[in-house]
Structure 1
Amino acid sequence: MSIKELQQERNQLFSDMFNNIIPKRMPVSFNISPRIIAEYAKLDTLEIQFNYGLLDSVADEASQLIYSDTCPIMPVGLASRIAGGYQAIDSQSFQMGSNGFMQHPEVVGMEESEYPELIADPYACILEKVLPRQHKALSLEDPVKRSLSISALQAENNRQLSNTVPIMNRLIEKYGYYKGAPFGSGGFTAAPYDFIADQLRSFSGISMDIRRNRSEILEACEALLPLMYQLGLPSNPSPEGAVGMPLHMPTFMREKDFVKVWLPTYLKLVQQYAARGIRTQPFLEDNWMRYIDILQELPAGTVMMFEYGDPKLIKEKLGDKFIIKGLFPLDLLKRGTKQQVLDKAKEICDIMLPGGGYIFSFDKGPLMLSDINIENYRVLSEFLRDYAVYDNAGESYGEKLNSENYEIDPNFGKFESKYLTNWNEYKAKYPMTPESMKDYLYRYDMDSLRFYLNLLV
């Protein structure tokens, strides 16, 4: 089979999977973090974080360590936590630890007394209060330093992206990997409650607030909902793309608080995405088994990635409606024998593969070389390629995205803020501006919103 034929086959695997057709075989999708590649190739792991372009010299060797239908080396992005970018804004929210990893310590970006300000104008509260506290160089007290720091941040992020995108594109063409979802079909956001807990009030702060300021949290979640929607909104929705969202807080909450406070705005968010043909991919952190019946309320076609849980129960309760990922214990890949790894993979596949709708993945992503046994990883990936084959390829499976026919709310995602362009005032100041400019100004506002919110997720 030629490289082009292999790539066509791989593209078809993913097209089928995300269009409710049982593929020829389950697509195998793994990636190797830059840290693991650097360690394996005996490169300087700290130097790599400040120049991902150095991976190019070892990219071919690294891509051959395991079998994958997707390129094992991905471009850096939000989840990569680009060190130079956060250092440019003197971040307290994302800092490099003694082990060289960018870490997120527990931090407070909003005081308990400031809920009313968040509710009144969440965007203004984030720009004026939260960002300057979480990233010290964005202080409003030194506007020149703030401007220069933002420029440095943007330049560093662009540099690192341009260091890695060519590597990925070269490997995709050379080895015939899946080309990926259409450009602009993915995104990343957070559940409103999780956003408050993660960057505004901290884990301990929100845990106290849920008892003392329950009504304010409810209002704050509603106020933040349009911002979280805009943050993740793809410009070019496609069944193969998805909006990722790690879900942090529910397993630490009482079920009544989860149902009454956390869930309502999250359901509105994912339903309005689904109404527009946008798939979501939540990472269900920790163990969600006590909420498994509630998860059935999510839109059909949601890609649910589980960290822990009972595969049989998940398949029974959710397998006919959703695409399932996760559940293979990463620790077994490190500590288990080759046979133990294969036995566990076969056990999960035998439960999950029938009927379609499963993509194999670990319960969490490996971060460093010591998290895995490379030989086990290679054997596992090849086993999945050869074992996870369907004898009923071409048949339909599951429920299609937005099978529920959610109605689009044309006003969803709209909000008011003193930092959004007022078209009437703008037109009065610049009367020669044509009406066609109104949409562009709105687009610029939303691009700015995403840029600043991305510093907090």
Structure 2
Amino acid sequence: MSEVGNLYQERVERVFKTLRLEQADRVPVLGTYGTWSAYYAGYTDSETNWDTDKCGKAMLKVAGDIPMDMTHQVFNRPGSVYQALGSKAFHYLSESNIVQYSDQSANIMKEDEYREFSGDPFRFFVDKILPRKYRELAQDSPVRDLALTKGAMQFGMYGGKKGAIKAALAQQCKMPLLFDGVILHPLDWIADFFRGIKGVFMDIRRRPEELAEAVEALTPLVMRFGMGQVHMAPPRPNPKVLMMPLHLPTMLNTKDFNKYYWPSFKKVMEFFAAHDIYVIPFYEGDWSRYYDHLQELPAKKTMGWFEHGEPKELKQKLGNTLCLIGLFPTTLLQYGTKEECIAKAKELVDALAPGGGYIFGTDKEVISPKDAKAENIIAINKFVMEYGIYS
């Protein structure tokens, strides 16, 4: 097989070897370029949400222009599905703007409905949540049935096009994708989609035990949802990977974190680790007060995508437990010089790369067209690939 033909597998092996906390030939580079990719290719977020083919063209352009070992996920949302179901939550401030999610629309579950919710979360989700979030699903038959049919058809078409994007990236750019799906922590799920963030913080004070019961009841559904996505993903020799964005922990005091968040989070992480599935949480905010908690996670079975943290402390505390990624500030990619960006990349590689278990990436997904300058991204990625070689 040619060197180009081997490139895809070389990239996959480099990333997954690092995920296992082994030392690869060099530090891998993960592309975390979300809706920024649309703007880089000359589209808007709105265009790529409504036309998945344009999303694919944008990802191919980014994968062809920017040096990296792997990209994280197909970035667009299926606008046609939301339209078919009559979504109340997702909207645009303008045709060219990034899709917005309304927290007010999330507050659709009443505070006195926790007991009913905990009794059968899936049934409550189908019978109560979906009709409240989607106008067409609140209609009587046959309007509701037609909306479901349209939504299912649109979602199936969207899934097929996502698969085509993944295949095109592999064949044309030799570029693998990391994530096979996305899951949410039960408390984040309740806050994001059922009660709203303000509602959850009121419930912590007013209905603490009912909220705790709801989190526990929803945890098995999170596992089922993740396994469903894994089973739908195409087979591959390496473990499947799920992303898990974490929203509330750094807003909680430690006592509430220990009660409402940590037990179910640990349970979910241990469940997927036992099934040889990597869950990669995005640790939003400053997690330094929870590092001792994270040391209890199954070793060599996860990766931590960190937004903030002192690199040497992260390596010392968690380097033997989980693969590390993140910390490179997107603000520097937009406002810094090329020299400043390279200096920061060197600082992170020097602190985090020794011994392996480190993948270079940004502190958050690059979304807005003003999140990063392409020339700075290219410069730091090339630098890491040349500088981060293990002797």
Matched, 1:204 2:205: no
| Cα contact 2:20–2:323 (8 A) shared by 1 | no
Matched with 1:21 is 22
Q: Conserved in 2, the CA contact under 8 Å of 1:95 and 1:104? A: yes
Which residue number corresponds to residue 216 of structure 1?
210
Q: Is the 8 A contact 2:45 2:98 kept in 1?
A: no
Provide the C-alpha distance between the structure 2 equivalents of 1:294 and 1:55, rounded to a whole number of angstroms.
38
How far 1:85 sits from its partner (Å)?
1.3
| Matched residue, 2:81 | 85
Contact kept, 8 Å, 1:286 with 1:307, in 2: the verdict is yes
**AA aligned opposite 2:225:** L
The higher radius of gyration belongs to 1
* Cα distance in structure 1, aligned partners of 2:44 and 2:118: 46
Residue by residue over 1:334-380, the C-alpha shift from the partner in whole angstroms, topping out at 9 and shown as x without a partner, is 00000000000000110000011111111111113222111111111
How many corresponding residue pairs?
381
Q: Which amino acid aligns with 1:87?
A: Q
- By how many angstroms is 1:148 displaced? 1.6
CA distance in 1: counterparts of 2:113 and 2:317, whole angstroms: 41
TM-score by length of 2: 0.90
Cα deviation, residue 332, structure 1 = 0.3
Tell me what 2:102 maps to: 105
Change (3 A) 1:114 1:379: same
Matched ranges for 1:233-312 at <5 A: 233=227, 234-235=230-231, 240-301=239-300, 302-312=302-312
Map of 2:329 onto structure 1: 329
- Cα shift at 1:138: 1.2
Residues 58-90 of structure 1 deviation map (CA, whole Å, 9 limit, x = unaligned): 665443321012258x545xxx32222112111
Q: How does 1:375-390 map to 2 (within 5 A)?
A: 375-390=375-390
Find out whether 1:10 has 2:6 as its counterpart.
Answer: no
1:128 is paired with a residue whose SS is helix
Q: Return the offset for 1:204.
A: 0.5
TM-score, normalised via structure 1 length: 0.78
Distance, in Å, in 2 between the alignment partners of 1:385 and 1:189 is 31
CA positional deviation for 1:39:
2.9
Whether the 8 Å contact between 1:83 and 1:102 is mirrored in structure 2 is no
> After superposition, what is the alpha-carbon deviation per residue over 1:31-81, rounded to whole angstroms, capped at 9, x for unaligned?
544x44443343465333211213566665443321012258x545xxx32
Alpha-carbon separation, structure 2, partners of 1:71 and 1:287? 25
Deviation at 1:163, TM superposition (A): 3.5
User: In the TM superposition, what whole-angstrom CA distance separates every residue of 1:105-124 from its partner, at most 9, and x where no partner exists?
Assistant: 11212100101101111111
CA 1:177–1:58 in 2, change beyond 3 Å: closer, same or farther? Answer: closer
Please give the alpha-carbon distance, in whole angstroms, between the structure 2 residues aligned to 1:306 and 1:174.
31
Could you list the per-position Cα deviations for residues 386-405 of structure 1 after superposition, in whole angstroms to 9, with x for gaps in the alignment?
111112xxxxxxxxxxxxxx
Aligned to 2:143: 145
Aligned partner of residue 283 in structure 2, secondary structure = strand
**1:361 and 2:361 aligned:** yes
Structure 1 residues 129 and 13, CA gap change in structure 2 (3 angstroms): same
Alignment partner of 2:334: what SS?
helix
Q: What's the % identity of the aligned pairs?
A: 33
Runs of 4+ in 1 over 6 A off after TM superposition: none
Amino acid at match of 1:28: V
Separation in structure 2 between the aligned mates of residue 379 and residue 124 of structure 1, nearest angstrom: 51
Contact 2:63–2:173 (CA<8 Å) still a contact in 1? no
Distance 2:272 2:44 in 1: 42
What is the distance in 1 between the residues matched to 2:174 and 2:41? 23
Q: Of the candidates 163, 166, 186, which is equivalent to residue 165 of structure 1?
A: 163
Q: What letter is aligned with 1:94?
A: F
For structure 2, the 5+ residue unaligned runs are none
Most deviating of 341-350 and 165-174: 165-174
Are the counterparts in 2 of residues 49 and 83 from structure 1 also a CA contact under 8 Å?
A: yes
Structure 1's unaligned 5+ residue stretches are 392-457
Name the CA distance, whole Å, in 1 between partners of 2:7 and 2:374.
24
Matches within 5 A, 1:56-95: 61-70=61-70, 75=74, 80-95=76-91
The whole-number CA distance in structure 2 between the counterparts of 1:82 and 1:332 is 31
Structure 2 distance, partners of 1:265, 1:70, is 30
- 1:146 corresponds to which letter in structure 2? R
